Every structure is written in C-alpha cells, then in structure tokens.
Amino acid sequence: MEQSASSSAAMNSDRKSRHRCRNICFATMGVLLFLIILIIILIFTVFKPKTPTTTINSVTLANLKFSLDLTKLQALFNATLDVDLSIKNSNKVGFKYADSTAYLNYRDRKVGEAAIPAGKISADDTAAMNLTVTIMADRFISDSKFFGDVAGGELPLNTFAAVSGKVNVLNLFKIHVVSTASCDVIVFLSNSTVGDQNCKYNYKL
C-alpha cells in the first residue's frame, strides 16, 4: 500500500510539473506573440517609413562675369550659383544618407555640380545646406543655342539634387529611400538675377 501511495504521489507530482511547464511555455509564447504584434503595429503606424523631403529653397547668382564679342564669336562667361537646399526627415527615427551630388544643367547638358557630403539627420529634424555650384563655361559656349540665349538676355537653367540613404526602423529593418528635387530657373544676364523657380519633387521607398 505504501509503495502504491508513493507511486501515485510521484505520478501526481510529474503531472503537475508537466502542467506547470506547459503553462510557462504558453505564457512565453503569448508574450512573444504580443511583442511581435506590437512591433508590427508600431512599424505600420508610429515608425512607418517616410521618404525624407529634399527641397531647393532658393538659387542665387554670384560672381557673374560676362562679355561677348560678336565679331569674333567669343564669349567670356564665369559665374557661380549658390543653392540653398534642405532635407527634412519626417521619420521617428534617424535618416542616414550617402554622399550625393547636386547638378546644374543647361538644355539637358551638365554644366556644373556640387558635392553633398554624407551625413545623418535626427528624427523629425531638417538639415540645411548651402551649396556653391561653379559653372563650366566651356560647356555653355560649345552649345549651339548659347549665343541665341545670350542675345535674348536669358539663360534657362535646371538644378537637380538626388539624395539616397536608409531609414533604420527599430534596429530591425533598414529601408532604402531616395529623394529628388528638380528646379527650372531663368538667369537674367542684364541684371545678374535669377527668375522664379519651377520645382518638381519626387520621393520613393
């Protein structure tokens, strides 16, 4: 009888131990499932990736030196453009971007560029950048329409900047994003000013 009672007690203890282990496993799985669901909700709500916005705020002409000899069809043209550019990070996490470049174009031909050094923008922050673009005069003069534009007193230019980088969500997902800005401007040679800008922006994940 004592042996039977001892065996029964051992079986009950074993069942209780298995039951306790099963409850612990279920509780652990429940906590993990809750955490996974919480992370997914946060990723698609609070931490939903947003493409940083690259904006060309203004373009200013500086150091313009221009002279034209129509008899010899020769031109001296040197100038720089100061581009005020900003990158806004609307994410709840930091945005890290690689080395990028801003370009100056004349009739679909690249005539100048300025480097945008790599960096990082904190959550909900905006980085302001002042870029100086030196114009490549020889590329202007080699264009067949240059002298016609000069005679009319206006140069149509385009400034283009593309910034690419990554948004790190909860140190779990690194999402690649690209932000571009393109602005058409007119340079008035008579008074060395820049006309109204017509800008287009594009963002993609």
**Domain CATH code at residue 168:** 2.60.40
93 and 115 share a domain? yes
The count of domains in the chain is 2
27 and 104 share a domain? no
98 and 35 share a domain? no
Name the residue range of residue 102's domain.
53-204
| Three-state secondary structure call for residue 195 | coil
23 and 95 share a domain? no
Cα-Cα end-to-end distance for the chain: 75
78 and 113 share a domain? yes
| DSSP code, position 52 | P
31 and 119 share a domain? no
**One digit per residue, pLDDT tens: the chain, 205 residues?**
545 555 555 556 666 677 677 778 877 887 777 776 766 666 566 567 777 888 888 888 777 776 666 666 566 667 788 889 899 988 888 889 999 999 999 988 998 899 999 999 998 899 999 998 878 877 877 777 887 888 888 889 999 998 999 887 766 678 888 889 999 988 887 777 888 788 888 877 6
| DSSP code, position 70 | T
| Three-state secondary structure call for residue 85 | strand
* pLDDT at residue number 160: 92
118 and 142 share a domain? yes
107 and 26 share a domain? no
* pLDDT at residue number 118: 93
CB atoms within 10 A of CB 86: 15
Distance CA 144, CA 93 (A): 49
* pLDDT at residue number 133: 87
Q: Which of 98, 143, 104 is nearest to 116 (CA)?
A: 98
60 and 32 share a domain? no
144 and 112 share a domain? yes
pLDDT tens for 140-167 read 777 778 878 888 888 899 999 989 998 8
* pLDDT at residue number 201: 86
Distance CA 141, CA 155 (A): 12
1 and 83 share a domain? no
Distances (CA, A) of 73 to 66, 69, 143, 147, 168: 13, 6, 13, 8, 56
* pLDDT at residue number 125: 93
39 and 57 share a domain? no
